[in-house]
Amino acid sequence: MQAGILKASDLAGYRNDPVFIRGALHVPLSREAVRECMPVLFVLQAEAEPQVRAVLGHFFFVYIHPYMDGNGRLARFLMNLMFVPASYVWTVIPVERRKEYMNALEQASSFANVAPFAAFIAELAKAQAKEPLPRPL
Domain that holds residue 54: 29-128
Residue 11 falls within a domain, yes or no? no
Under 8 Å between Cβ of 113 and 27: no
- On the 0-12 / 13-18 / 19+ scale of CB atoms within 10 A, 62 is buried
pLDDT of res. 128: 96
Torsion of CA 69, 8, 39, 75, to 10 degrees: 30
Residue 74 falls within a domain, yes or no? yes
CATH number at residue 37: 1.10.3290.10
pLDDT of res. 1: 47
Residue 85 falls within a domain, yes or no? yes
Residue 4 falls within a domain, yes or no? no
pTM above 0.75, yes or no: yes
Residue 107 falls within a domain, yes or no? yes
> What's the number of domains the chain is made of?
1
pLDDT of res. 18: 86
Residue 39 falls within a domain, yes or no? yes
Q: What is the mean pLDDT for each group of 10 consecutive residues in the chain (137 residues)?
A: 62 82 88 89 89 95 92 96 93 95 96 97 96 82
pLDDT of res. 75: 97
Alpha carbon distance, N-terminus to C-terminus of the chain: 30
Residue 2 falls within a domain, yes or no? no
Residue 123 falls within a domain, yes or no? yes
